Amino acid sequence: MIKAGIIGATGYAGSELIRLLMGHKNVEIKWYGSKSYKDKRYYEVYQNFFHFTDDKCLDDNLNKLSDEVDVIFTATPQGFCSSQINEEILSKTKVIDLSADFRIKDVDIYEEWYGINHENPKFIDEAVYGLCEINRDKIKNARLIANPGCYPTCTILSIYPLLKEGLIDINNIIVDAKSGVTGAGRSAKTDNLFCEVSENIKAYGLTNHRHTPEIEEQLSYAAGQNLIINFTPHLIPMNRGILITAYSSLIKETSYEDLKNIYKKYYKNEKFIRLLDDDIFPQTKWVQGSNFVDINFKIDKRTNRIIIIGAMDNLVKGAAGQAIQNMNIMFGLEEHEGLYNVPMFP
């Protein structure tokens, strides 16, 4: 059995990690880390875990935890993992970090967009960007995984094949994204109160959302040259889910069938990417609670543009599910173990 510890276990991503890991036949949870709820039983924080665990929340001592587990998940705010990680910890256990601390390879860009100093840049080069469908071979032997952000996961996977094949204009990519409220975390914030969110939709982070450089960096690797995008996220009055609509110009006239074959070339063997049928477009309700990403596109011949749509659950494929998928790869397990479930509906 793989012994796992979760730091930040009482956030939304942390609780989703625990829900999924409890259904994983190869994992035993040894540490429910939560500084805010230390010594409280986990089910007292999340009543849905009543009768599933009597364990109490512990502190966030990574050095002690690394002696007791095989893998540590850090579902923590930016800055925590980078301030705690060290060679001793990585020599004893694997770390999968759900924050942005090790996602961006240029530390200056990280500090500019996140507004904090990076306390451990020496591990940035070693950290593997854990987008499983693209970096699987690098993930296998990694000690430190930078689990991708939710918006970046949906955006990158939706656009990646077209950039790899050089089929769209890299200077003309626009991404319109929408997310449920859990994407903002569990901390109390006025903007996330029911009366603020209900019956409303709003754009935020215009021109400066901190996932922008992460998306640009990874899409630049796919394109083989640096690119810049327009990325605008929106908050939707629903609990979970992400829908991205991306627009770009086609380099040359191409049929739907030819483009669909390109997507199949990259994703036909991927269990968690579902390429939808012609004129069936992704919806968040069909991926809820699952690790799936649904993708499809439409060619607008009138404007010679392609419209690409992707949908996924921000807490699963956008956080906890992808982290477990990374863990499965790192420990040589079936990649879909503990994750291959039918999405919830309604």
Write out the catalytic residue numbers. 150
- List, in sequence order, the alpha helices (H) in 129-239: 132-139, 150-164, 194-197, 212-223
Structure tokens at 40: 């409280």
Structure tokens at 332: 């040589």
Q: Which residue type sits at 9?
A: A
- Full strand arrangement of the beta sheet holding 273-275: 202-203, 230-235, 174-179, 242-249, 305-312, 293-300, 273-275
Report the helix count and the strand count for the chain, using DSSP H and E: 12, 14
Rounded to whole angstroms, the Cα distance separating 309 from 158 reads 7
Estimate to the nearest angstrom the gap between the alpha carbon of 253 and the chain centroid.
33
Q: Which residue type sits at 132?
A: C
- Give the E-state strand segments of the chain in sequence order: 2-7, 27-33, 57-58, 71-74, 94-97, 128-129, 144-146, 174-179, 202-203, 230-235, 242-249, 273-275, 293-300, 305-312
Collapsed DSSP state (helix, strand, coil) of residue 283: coil
Residues 6+ apart with CB under 8 A from 127: 97, 102, 103, 142, 144, 145, 146
Rounded to whole angstroms, the Cα distance separating 245 from 177 reads 6
Residues 6+ apart with CB under 8 A from 146: 97, 100, 101, 102, 103, 127, 128, 129, 130
Collapsed DSSP state (helix, strand, coil) of residue 263: helix
